[in-house]
Homo-oligomer: A and B are copies of this chain.
């Protein structure tokens, strides 16, 4: 009677595209009539983890709180979409063990592309030492060893990335509105949307290579 809830757990470097993808997935799932909630790093820090620093211990606590909320949302049949960097494998494994129907999506994007994007100017500050423990600069990012989905946001548009996620969800039976998914696929063909202008050039050159191979 209740729907099968699930959590889509985006992980990746700062500026890899997690928040953009979370919003886009949220939008698509709403269209498909799935009740989804985004647990974004910033919102969560405001509502659940005010006062926590960016030390290793506090970052772990931040991720654990996100896990807890995602678990509850998932258990009542909703969809939780998380978009925190979640750089440490150990904590993501903890989340996986706690949350039923856990889908880890690795938002893979080369560090130099992320630095070039630098949406909030944090990379620049981290490089100057003005922000400490910054993932990718002064703190490690541990790539997922076995994620359910791998995206390459420097080589594909946000819509293409989300298409990959939706396909996975459909394949695993998490979403079942085939007609609507088909319609989304149609939409993709006509209105592909780019994450960031910088991607366009990179993508054009890369995709040409890929297409000819």
What is the interface of chain A, defined by CB distance below 8 A to chain B?
Answer: 1-3, 5, 33-37, 47-48, 50-51, 61, 64-65, 68-69, 72-73, 75-79
Contact = CB atoms under 8 A, between A and B. Distances in A.
B77 A35 contact: yes
A48 B36 contact: no
Contacts of A69: 48, 69, 72
Nearest to A58: B51
Residue of A2, A5, A79 with most chain B CB atoms under a 10 A cut-off: A2
Given A2-B3, A2-B35, A78 B73 contact: yes
Contacts of A48: 48, 65, 68-69
A75 B78 CA distance: 9
Stoichiometry, as copies per complex, reads 2
B64 A47 contact: yes
Given A2-B3, A3-B2, A37 B68 contact: no
Given A2-B3, A48-B48, A61-B50, A36 B76 contact: yes
A56 to B, nearest CB: 16
Nearest to A51: B51
Residue of A34, A61, A72 with most chain B CB atoms under a 10 A cut-off: A72
A72 B2 contact: no
Contact of A76 (B1, B35, B47): B35
A195 to B, nearest CB: 26
Contact of A77 (B47, B51, B64, B77): B77
